[in-house]
Amino acid sequence: MSRSRRLLTWIVLLVLMVAFGAGVNRYLASGSTVAFAPAEKPTQTDVKLSLPGTVYFADGGGLFALTGTHITQLQAEGQGWTQPVLIPGGAGLLAVKVTANYYSDLYEVDLSGKVEAQLSHDSGKVTATELGADDWIYYPAVGPGNTLYFSYDWPKGNVDDLAQCCYQVDLSIWKTTLGTDIDRTAVEHSDGITQESWANYYTGGDVSPLPLASGGLIYVDYEAATDNSEVSTPVHGADPGDEVSQIRMDPTPNANGTGHGTPLTQPGDDCAQPALNPDETEIAMICTPVVNGAPSSTESDLVVASFDAATGTLGPLERIVTGTMAASPTWSPDGTDLIYLAPEAGDGYFELWYVKDATTLPAPQARQVTSDLDLDGSAPVWRP
Amino acid sequence: MSLGRSPRVTRRRRASRRFPRVPRVRTILLVLLGFILSGVGGALNFFWPTITAAVGATGHTIQAPTPTSLPGTPTAAPSVAAGSQAPFTVLLMGSDNDGKFTTSSGTPYFCCAQSLILVRVNPTAGSVTMLSIPRDLWVPIYSANGKERSDGKVSEAFGDAGDGTSGADAQIATIEQDFQVTIDHYVWIGLQGLINLIDEVGGIDIVASHPVMDDNYPYDVEGSTNPNAADRVAVLPGAQHMDGLEALEYVRSRHDDISEDLGRTVRQQEVLVALRQKLSQLSLGDTNNLASALSGEVLTDVPLTQFSLLLGISKDVGSGSIQHVYLTQDSPGTEDGQDVLEPDMSAILAAVHQYFPSS
């Protein structure tokens, strides 16, 4: 081999060596875990399954509508929108708008996302040392006669003592007529607004009101899992600092001034997030499974049970989706199918899932509807 | 077949005589070495941010002396290195670290540890035990040199007592002396580090067991410089995908919890388990981003060389093999005008030594 050819060979080898080093570098860089990739915008994602009707949901602080496989943005992301619910008759939506770390307010929006009315006025009262003056409003639900139920963090303790303010901030369920202005003063003085449930102190309070056609109310309360000074016996296997939820029914809310009603589920079932089908014969809910002898902190089951609204009795709890972190079930308009939220494998973001004929046992396999989104924990709304 | 030399071979030999060659084997080895060095260089270049960050954060030596044994208590097996198959104990500490508090002379100090969790790892059994120590437990506080200072909240050992022995060593000494355990390793993470870490892995998924409401939550991260600023927190119950700030609020809030500090320690362990689940999906390509997220927010005595072994153990431990232990052998009290937890130390030691060998 001539000197020049040998030199050329070495130059080529050196170039290859450098390329190899660069390749190793790029290979390592390309190994970044896809699981940690940010979620996509709902309007840019592929929908895997077409559902009948329209599903309204919150994602990243925005409001969206899913029709078929097409997602429309109703309210821009980053504005704190959450917990959309349908106004009976389907004319529009109610939704909560959260200003993180300060307050939330309730709005009425039409089906295209246009804000029609601000129903509560908790905004703008706060100063840095008067946080107790602000309020949270969550979990709107509209019942017969345009009765509006919601959870509100009043009464709360020590609000007048800034040195101690505000250690007890529990949500209780309140009722008014849709369209009534809601603010602290009206709530505090029961000015057209009445308290329907009385929270167990220091538990976070009562949430998820579900009005019944009869005027009764289903809701969820919380209690210490291992403390029998509350309203139940300790939950076997619970950690000493755990709290558990119980779904309750009060046929005549506000009648006895205690607001506890009667339990539909047991504390050991730790059930919450109830969804009532349109004819009030089935309740879907989320219950915590017992794993290795203790309530799981990383799993929640989708459960369905028959319900008799007249007697306030619940049938056996049927766990139709297990081994995941199910959340926020919603019945189809005809009351046969369910949609719910659960994490996608890998990235853990919450996606929409679908179970056809959810009351048929064994329930068919759940199918994933959306992917690469990051849906918030609030229940979607399903309109025909 | 011809056995004669071909003209081509003859030409090569002539050429070789004119330009002396490196022997063939040496040439091959040289080329191979070149490729190996180039590959190592490429890898080093990629991992350089991780290496520089890790060198500063790892390998710190525990200065605390071995705890004095209580009379009558059994002696534990000697401390072992992480990475071996023998069980070992790690103290996880979480605290703020931005020096927002100052002494009367204006010197920054760190008030206390926000979270104290003893972790016992048994690599052979593939099991982990996590024991939360309530931060308000009223116990003797020790300096890093093992000297008893005064009584105080156990978490205050992390803070500065004016004798220059603040920080992890004093916290380790206090826990070793008060609970009569041997701590083999420690990991400290700042509040902002926890936020960064959780954000970097894309958030964590947990089931919030109840509404966590707080109108007086300390607003002291994300650039806040007022140690007394407050914020409002509302973490709603149910399945939650939390970013770093939301997760921190979830584990720190305690005012509206019927179980008070105990409820918070339960939530802290929930978040640790969820974080471990996310971290188990890590690949090599994520290390630089993680190192960047944790820069200046993590300190540990675990040597860099043993981290891969610890991560391997972490991946091998299933969620069902993690045992959660909480100390409840205490009662509310008041000391020096502060709300504290008065411990029943004999009951606490009996509980601790069920899972952690006494020193």
CB contact (8 A) between residue B286 and residue A23: no
Q: Cis peptide leading into A165, omega within 30 of 0?
A: no
- pLDDT at residue B183 in the model: 93
- Chain B residue nearest residue A163, CA to CA: B216
Task: State the nearest Cα–Cα gap between A271 and chain B, in angstroms.
Answer: 10
Per-residue b/e over A103-113, b at no fewer than 16 CB within 10 Å? bbbbbbbebeb
Per residue of chain B (359 residues), what is the pLDDT tens digit?
Answer: 444 445 554 555 554 555 555 678 888 898 899 999 999 998 888 887 777 777 766 666 666 555 443 322 333 333 445 456 788 999 999 887 666 666 677 666 667 888 899 999 888 888 889 999 998 999 999 988 888 888 999 998 887 544 444 578 889 999 999 999 999 999 888 888 899 989 888 888 887 878 999 888 888 776 666 767 778 889 998 778 888 999 999 999 888 888 878 888 889 888 988 888 888 777 777 777 777 778 778 888 877 666 666 767 766 666 667 888 888 888 889 998 888 999 999 999 999 999 999 87
CB contact (8 A) between residue B236 and residue A377: yes
- Chain B residue nearest residue A246, CA to CA: B210
B73 is written with which tokens? Answer: 């208590």
Closest CA to A162 of A201, A122, A130, A128: A130
- pLDDT at residue A24 in the model: 86
CB contact (8 A) between residue A297 and residue B256: no
Name every residue whose Cβ is closer than 8 Å to that of residue A35 and which is 6 or more positions away in sequence: A346, A347, A348, B202, B278, B281
CB contact (8 A) between residue A101 and residue B202: no
Task: State the nearest Cα–Cα gap between A120 and chain B, in angstroms.
Answer: 18
Q: Which segments of chain B belong to CATH 3.40.630.190?
A: 58-355
* H/E run at residue B304: none
Q: In angstroms, how far is CA A298 from the centroid of its own chain?
A: 16
Q: DSSP string spanning A53-90?
A: EEEEEEETTEEEEEEETEEEEEE-TTS-EEEEEEPTTS
Paired with A300 in beta bridges are A325
Q: Per residue in B230-271, pLDDT tens?
A: 788 899 987 788 889 999 999 998 888 888 788 888 898 889
Q: Per residue in A331-365, pLDDT tens?
A: 999 999 999 999 887 667 889 999 999 998 888 89
Closest CA to A69 of A84, A57, A54: A54
Q: Which of B46, B239, B258 sits opposite A300 (nearest CB)?
A: B239
Name every residue whose Cβ is closer than 8 Å to that of residue A122 and which is 6 or more positions away in sequence: A103, A104, A105, A134, A135, A136, A137, A183, A184
* H/E run at residue A380: none
Q: Per residue in A93-114, pLDDT tens?
A: 999 999 887 889 999 999 999 9
- For residue A327, the one-letter residue type is A
Distance CA A132, CA B231 (A): 10
Per this entry, what is the length of chain A?
A: 384
Angle of the B24-57 helix axis to the B287-294 helix axis, nearest 10: 30
- DSSP summary character for residue A264: S
Q: Per residue in B190-241, pLDDT tens?
A: 888 899 989 888 888 887 878 999 888 888 776 666 767 778 889 998 778 8
Four-residue CA torsion sign, A231, A257, A199, B217: negative
| Strand, coil or helix: A235 | coil
The secondary structure of chain A in percent helix, strand, coil, rounded to multiples of 5, reads: 10, 40, 50
Contact of B218 with B252, CB cutoff 8 Å: yes
Contact of B210 with B237, CB cutoff 8 Å: yes
Q: What is the mean pLDDT of residues A142-158?
A: 89
- pLDDT at residue B225 in the model: 67
- pLDDT at residue B294 in the model: 80
**Level-2 CATH architecture, domain B58-355:** 3-Layer(aba) Sandwich (3.40)
Which residues 183-202 of chain B have a CB within 8 Å of chain A? 200-202
CB contact (8 A) between residue B256 and residue A204: yes
pTM of the complete model: 0.83
ipTM for the whole complex: 0.88
